[in-house]
Amino acid sequence: MKISYNWLKEFIQIDKSPEEISTILTGTGLEVESLEKVQAIPGGLEGLVIGYVKEAIQHPNADRLRITKVDVGTGEDIQVVCGAANVGAGQKVVVATVGATVYPTEGEPFKINKSKIRGEVSEGMICAEDEIGLGHSHEGIMVLGDDAVVGRPAKDHFKLNDDYLYEIGLTPNRADATSHLGTARDIAAYLKIGITKPDVSAFKVDNTSNTIEVVVENTDGAPRYSGVTISGIEVKESPQWLKERLAVIGVRSINNIVDVTNFVLHDLGQPLHAFDADKITGGKVVVKNSPEGTAFKTLDDVERKLSGDDLIIYNADEPMCIAGVFGGIGSGVTASTKNIFLESAYFNPVSVRKTAKRHGLKTDSSFRFERGTDPNNTVYALKRAALLIKEVAGGSISSEVIDIYPSPVEPFAVELSYKNTVRLIGQVIPDEEIKAIVKALDIEVVNETADGLSLKVPPYRVDVTREVDVIEEILRIYGYNNIAIPTQIRASMTASQRPEKDTVQNMLSDLLTANGFNEILSNSLTKLAYSNDPDKAVRILNPLSSDLDVMRQSLLFSGLEAIAYNQNHKSADLKLYEFG
């Protein structure tokens, strides 16, 4: 998982260096596998400066080229041969000086050298936006406003800040840390500081002209489903700040609407999906299981056969999206979209995991849903996204917030004993410090006694449901390195059976191998037909196949299968053995 240092600082006020934050994250269980300095735009516009074109005359040997004299703030003008039709005297432009490496939007980076073009010296390049990674247009050079300062580095003019990217090896149990907010929570808990979440108080319903009816038929698959419509938007290229924020963590910009949903996903950890509201036939969204074998074409233009166990988002007539996994090609946002229905939901993790596995799909949304998202975050994330969409795409909030939440997910009730905490950690931690750590972890203290605490753990901490889990959290934030290593090791002598089983097995293995035998290791799972006593067979609840549905009761059949396999592959001279 990729985390941006600058993005983290929007949630927490810190003066720690990127390296110090890396140490804190690893110490609290979010292992930082790598830390690197990055730029939102490849190359960071290094070596590029703001220049002023003093003169632009026709090249004597080429109709489409002009020779310019450019002031780049060094006190001495440089000559640049330029082929752009819109270049002219009096312009402020971006100039790549000799020695700079430019990184175009498409293609390989290249270095600027002093050269002769049709017999005239050129000491740099006046740049178009696609030549330096700032956009896709190649209609001409970038002409800057009058406020541009000659000689100023281009990275300062465009307000590009260096960032640091953390690559975190996220363990499966840390569903709460799949976002910048979740990662910031751990840092804040360790440093005992507060979290600043984005303000959504400006959210308001402008009108109710485009209300979509929502029906959730399978509330087990979708315990909470929220949505809102936004009308009159303009789908276009995202603003620079949004593209840069996503680029740092390796997410490609698509358009302003999709980019906002991706931004909120990585910001708050809540997956969102935007439907073209005009394609929602009947003005109705239905969340239900699909009939077995229903054909559905997904965004990757692949037609898939849906299972009866797949949770699907329907309109009045047809499926639109595989819930929590992948959208459909017919209902997504396109360049012509004017009205959208924005979905923010909490889907059943098991249902999403099985569906994603069944269809061989792995998306950023399914990655989070199948681990467990925050059921109490859907409306907040929806409002956050709606405000951003209004900012970058215009439009108006054209419905009330729809929020179907029939059975709210309750916090996990846990009783924490101070005595057990000390016993498991192996070191005395003051009661007040334990209490402070618990509160810093956003765990509510319901009651306190001399013996311990009664706690309510928020639902987004799906891995903290028992006392031992809370103790692990306390140790994580207290710091493993703060636990003293005992100076003595105490052990007791135990009598072992003679001869020892492992010793005898190793002797037999050496003897057999020395006589030309090969040791085999067979799967401990086998088919029921091989069981000596099927009634006593240990069955697998969710077998991968019918050939691997029980634990084996004998080594014989797996050994015979190995022999048969080798004989079928023309290997007849076999001497095999196996322990089990």
Residue 151, amino acid: G
Place of tokens 């984005």: 198
% residues pLDDT > 90 (the chain): 75
**Mean pLDDT within 482-498:** 77
**Cβ(326)–Cβ(298) below 8 Å:** yes
Question: pLDDT value at position 79?
Answer: 95
Q: What is the C-alpha separation between 445 and 235, in angstroms, rounded? A: 46
Q: What is the C-alpha separation between 554 and 559, in angstroms, rounded? A: 9
% residues pLDDT > 70 (the chain): 99
From its phi and psi, is residue 551 left (phi > 0), alpha (psi between -120 and 50) or beta? beta
Helix or strand or coil: residue 51? strand
Question: pLDDT value at position 162?
Answer: 81
Question: pLDDT value at position 191?
Answer: 93
Q: What is the C-alpha separation between 27 and 480, in angstroms, rounded? A: 7
Tell me the pLDDT tens digit for each residue of 109-154. Answer: 999 999 999 999 999 999 998 898 887 778 899 999 999 999 999 9
Residues making up the chain, counted from first to last: 580
Of residues 491, 493, 509, the one with CA closest to residue 501? 509
**Cβ(240)–Cβ(255) below 8 Å:** no
Those residues with Cβ within 8 angstroms of residue 432's Cβ, 6 or more apart along the chain or in another chain = none
Those residues with Cβ within 8 angstroms of residue 509's Cβ, 6 or more apart along the chain or in another chain = 519, 577, 579
Of residues 275, 277, 245, 282, the one with CA closest to residue 263? 245
Confidence of residue 494 (pLDDT cuts 50, 70, 90): confident
**Cβ(32)–Cβ(21) below 8 Å:** no
Domains assigned to the chain: 2-40+161-191 (3.30.56.10), 43-157 (2.40.50.140), 213-404 (3.50.40.10), 412-482 (3.30.56.10), 501-577 (3.30.930.10)
Q: How far is CA 513 from the centre of its chain?
A: 49
- Whether the pLDDT of residue 268 is over 70: the answer is yes
Confidence of residue 500 (pLDDT cuts 50, 70, 90): confident
Tell me the pLDDT tens digit for each residue of 514-553. Answer: 999 999 999 999 998 898 888 888 988 878 777 888 999 9
Tell me the pLDDT tens digit for each residue of 215-258. Answer: 999 999 999 999 999 999 999 999 988 998 998 998 989 999 99
- Whether the pLDDT of residue 289 is over 70: the answer is yes
Q: What is the C-alpha separation between 187 and 78, in angstroms, rounded? A: 50
From residue 394, give the alpha-carbon distance in Å to each of 1, 257, 340, 388, 512: 32, 11, 12, 9, 77
From residue 425, give the alpha-carbon distance in Å to each of 171, 239, 479, 482, 485: 21, 50, 11, 11, 12
Question: pLDDT value at position 446?
Answer: 95
Question: pLDDT value at position 484?
Answer: 87
The two tokens of residue 345 are 């939901």
Confidence of residue 165 (pLDDT cuts 50, 70, 90): very high
Q: What is the C-alpha separation between 350 and 338, in angstroms, rounded? A: 35
Confidence of residue 365 (pLDDT cuts 50, 70, 90): very high
Q: How far is CA 437 from the centre of its chain?
A: 27
- Whether the pLDDT of residue 492 is over 80: the answer is no
**Mean pLDDT within 3-29:** 94
Of residues 266, 233, 267, 239, the one with CA closest to residue 253? 239
Q: What is the C-alpha separation between 568 and 52, in angstroms, rounded? A: 78
Confidence of residue 200 (pLDDT cuts 50, 70, 90): very high
Question: pLDDT value at position 496?
Answer: 67
From its phi and psi, is residue 310 left (phi > 0), alpha (psi between -120 and 50) or beta? beta
Of residues 240, 281, 237, the one with CA closest to residue 258? 237
CB atoms within 10 A of CB 59: 17
Confidence of residue 39 (pLDDT cuts 50, 70, 90): confident
Full-model pTM: 0.76
Q: What is the C-alpha separation between 5 and 27, in angstroms, rounded? A: 17
**Cβ(66)–Cβ(87) below 8 Å:** yes
Helix or strand or coil: residue 380? helix
CB atoms within 10 A of CB 172: 8
Q: What is the C-alpha separation between 236 and 254, in angstroms, rounded? A: 9
The helix (H) or strand (E) run that includes residue 87 is: none
Using a 10 angstrom Cβ sphere, with 0-12 exposed, 13-18 middle and 19 or more buried, the burial of residue 299 is: middle
Question: pLDDT value at position 42?
Answer: 79
Confidence of residue 382 (pLDDT cuts 50, 70, 90): very high
Q: How far is CA 18 from the centre of its chain?
A: 20
Q: What is the mean pLDDT of the chain?
A: 92
- Whether the pLDDT of residue 498 is over 80: the answer is no
Using a 10 angstrom Cβ sphere, with 0-12 exposed, 13-18 middle and 19 or more buried, the burial of residue 394 is: middle
